[in-house]
A and B are shown apart, each in its own frame.
Chain A
Amino acid sequence: MMKAPNAGKVPGTQHRRLTLLTAIGLLGAFGWLVPHETLAAPADYQRPELRIPKDSTLTPERIALGKALFFDPRLSGSNWISCATCHNPALGWSDGLPTAIGHNMQVLGRATPTILNTAYNKKQFWDGRSPTLEHQALGPIEAAGEMNQTLAELIPELKAIPGYELMFERAYPQEGITDKTIAKAIAAFERTIVSTEAPFDRWVSGDESAISDAAKRGFALFEGKANCAACHQKFNFVDDGFHNIGLPSTDDPGRYVLVKVDVLQGAFKTPTLRDITRTAPYMHNGVYATLAEVIDHYDVGGVNKSNLDPNMKPLRLTASEKKDLTEFLKALTGAPLEITVPNLPSAF
């Protein structure tokens, strides 16, 4: 049944159908003419507050413990793979591979997402199956194809390491070494892995010389003709959303496995664009090696048109526009975080 849209000026107003029918119709017709929202202004690029659960606040002891756990291969069944094996700080907190390599060198189905700015994510994993970093942290440890470690084995293993007993006691007094404290500590460390100021941020704050004219033109394209900002929004250049962008070489159902709504068939989480020059190859299946390939993909409006996100349209960018977009994307990379690799507590 067709219904009248309300006038833009009075959203949420309740109507009685018959008595107000004509009036609603007229308002609806004019409501259509109300100017539409415009895309983000530079003020929208301010860094947001970190969302930290009340029972998982950051302390130096928790961050140090989480860092040790993150770099410790003893968290895996083989004692050979750490979180940092795939989330390598030297490779943009990813692995430089099209898709991850896990336990026993199996090639996995999806690319390793960067840890950078996961602190700002509303959902974790490519398909968004975790609501928090705490919930996410144990997933790859326990996954048979990834670190292949059961918590029932891991917890006594960590308890047998005196240095960890002490670090857990300092970080989480009287809580002990449990699945909860392991997850909280790793999450605490990950919340410190946030992007640094990029040339783009200096430009937004008023330094006109911070980025090139090509990058500025690229930003206008990003928000305009190329429509990247339909999904890549605000500080972290994400919409916390899920889209099927028509990638080749994938039959992965993505988020549809979790939420059986048609639009999610083949849909994956919008990834951050921060430090993007460090996180090649690109996309959930790592199918593109360079930013130029990524831009070509969007320029044709996606390659695989099956269940394609309707925001995707052919862009008809010129060669110089493509270069401008690349220059803009490069301006989103800041100085790398200074990370020292921790000395791990010894077994005795």
Chain B
Amino acid sequence: MRWYELTLCYVFMAAAGVPSGLAAEYEIDQQDKTFMMNNAKVERFSIKVGDTINFKNLDPWFHNVFSLSDISTFDLGSYPQGQHKSVMFSKAGEAEVECAIHPQMYMILEVKP
């Protein structure tokens, strides 16, 4: 995706009045085959229902993100360096989040009501 597409997208979102409420968005980096946040390895992370996690690939090879947990089942596919994919968590509970390609990329997401 190019920057102008992103910008268009934000403009569209703002115009459409995408509901924000108190929902937060967090970025988790995929770096050196590790889930990282603020340059530290993330093994466990807490969010609230409705929050979004944006997974960004900083490595020069493809990563995947998936969860097959009770509260959330998704597969974000494979994407290369520089790209990111996000997922919103709509149910409370715990989700195991993993890269299928590199299973050592594994974290537990605690989704609070």
Which A residues have a C-beta under 8 Å from some C-beta of B? 1-6, 8, 11-18, 21-22, 24-25, 28-29, 32, 36-39, 122-123, 128, 230-231, 239-243, 259-264, 267, 309-311
Q: Chain A residue with minimal CB distance to B88?
A: A1
Give the distance to chain B from A135, nearest Cβ to Cβ, in Å. Answer: 15
The answer, among A122, A230, A264, for a CB contact under 8 Å with B100, is A264
- Among residues of A, the one whose C-beta sits closest to the C-beta of B38 is A12
CB–CB A24/B66 < 8 A: no
When A122-B104, A261-B75, A261-B100 are in contact, do A24 and B33 touch as well, CB less than 8 Å? no
Q: 5 pairs across A/B with beta carbons < 8 Å?
A: A5-B6, A11-B37, A17-B18, A37-B58, A309-B78
Is A17 in contact with B25, judged by CB distance below 8 angstroms? yes
Which single member of A12, A240, A243, A260 contacts B103 (CB below 8 Å)? A240
Q: How far is the CA of A14 from the CA of B77 in the complex (A)?
A: 24
Contact B84 A15, beta carbon cutoff 8 Å: no
Pair A15/B24 contact, Cβ less than 8 Å: yes
Contact between chains at B39 and A32 (CB < 8 Å): no
Count class of interface residues, chain B: 35 or more
Judge whether A11 and B6 touch: CB under 8 Å. no
Question: In whole Å, how far is B50's beta carbon from the nearest beta carbon of chain A?
Answer: 11
Cβ contact within 8 Å between B60 and A243: no
What CA separation (Å) do A255 and B32 show in the bound complex? 22
Minimal beta-carbon separation of B44 from chain A (angstroms) = 14
Q: How far is the CA of A39 from the CA of B60 in the complex (A)?
A: 7
Contact B3 A12 (CB under 8 A): no
CA distance A28 to B24 in the complex (A): 17
If over half of B's interface residues share one DSSP class (helix, strand or loop), that class is named, otherwise mixed; here it is: mixed
Pick the contact of B25 from A14, A25, A310 — CB < 8 Å? A14
Which of B13, B36, B52 has a CB less than 8 Å from the CB of A11?
B36
Chain A residues near B9 (CB-CB < 8 A): 2
Nearest-CB residue, chain B, relative to A231: B61
How far apart sit A15 and B51, CA to CA, in the bound complex (Å)? 11
Contact B6 A25 (CB under 8 A): yes
In the complex, what residues of A have CB within 8 A of residue B54's CB?
3, 5-6
CB pair B56 A262 closer than 8 Å: no
Q: Is the CB of A17 within 8 A of B60?
A: no
> Smallest distance from the beta carbon of A235 to chain B beta carbons, Å?
15
Interface pair B20/A2, CB less than 8 Å apart:
no
Q: Cβ of B81 < 8 Å from any Cβ of A?
A: yes
Which of A28, A37, A241, A260 makes the CB contact (< 8 A) with B101?
Answer: A241
Q: How far is the CA of A337 from the CA of B65 in the complex (A)?
A: 40
The reply to whether A263 and B28 form a contact with Cβ atoms under 8 Å apart is: no
Q: Is the pair B18, A11 in contact by a Cβ cutoff of 8 Å? A: no
Mark contacts of B81-100 with chain A using CB atoms, 8 A cut-off: 1 yes-contact digit, 0 otherwise.
Answer: 11010101000000000001
- A241: B residues at CB distance < 8 A: 33, 101-103
Report yes or no: A12 in contact with B58, Cβ–Cβ below 8 A: no
Complex-state Cα separation, A261 to B33, whole angstroms: 18
A21-B33 contact in complex given A3-B84, A29-B3, C-beta closer than 8 Å: no
**With A11-B36, A122-B103 already in contact, 5 other A-B pairs whose C-beta atoms are closer than 8 Å:** A5-B27, A11-B39, A16-B20, A261-B68, A310-B80
Q: Which residues of B contact A122 (CB under 8 A)?
A: 103-104
